[in-house]
Amino acid sequence: AQSVTQPDIHITVSEGASLELRCNYSYGATPYLFWYVQSPGQGLQLLLKYFSGDTLVQGIKGFEAEFKRSQSSFNLRKPSVHWSDAAEYFCAVGGGSQGNLIFGKGTKLSVKP
């Protein structure tokens, strides 16, 4: 069955520090992979996506993610975190004919001054 695991429920980093949010997936075929961000009281906004090609993808707000097929991972990174990055981050996998996205349970990011 398709699934997405985000092992970290809550991460706190200092402003200016680097960030890596982990995501592992289980999918029978080549997955389409996504990272979404949800600010408090808001809907979800797409940060970046991977369909094929270069395994390192760039997204908005300075985020990037790397697809590693051997590890079934799609970790999100940012070299220097800003206070405005505090939010909930969701990894998702899709690609079925019905077009559904399956989400991980999210990682809450807190940023210390």
Partner 1 sequence: DTAVSQTPKYLVTQMGNDKSIKCEQNLGHDTMYWYKQDSKKFLKIMFSYNNKELIINETVPNRFSPKSPDKAHLNLHINSLELGDSAVYFCASSPRPLESGELFFGEGSRLTVL
Binding residues (CB under 8 A) for partner 1: these are 32, 34, 36, 38, 41-46, 49, 51, 88, 90, 94-103, 105-106, 108
To the nearest whole angstrom, how small is the minimum distance from the Cβ of residue 32 to partner 1? Answer: 7
Q: How far is the CB of 16 from partner 1 (least distance, A)?
A: 27
DSSP letters for 25-84: EE-SSPPEEEEEEE-TT--EEEEEEE-SS-SEEE-GGG-EEEEEGGGTEEEEEESS--GG
Q: How far is the CB of 80 from partner 1 (least distance, A)?
A: 26
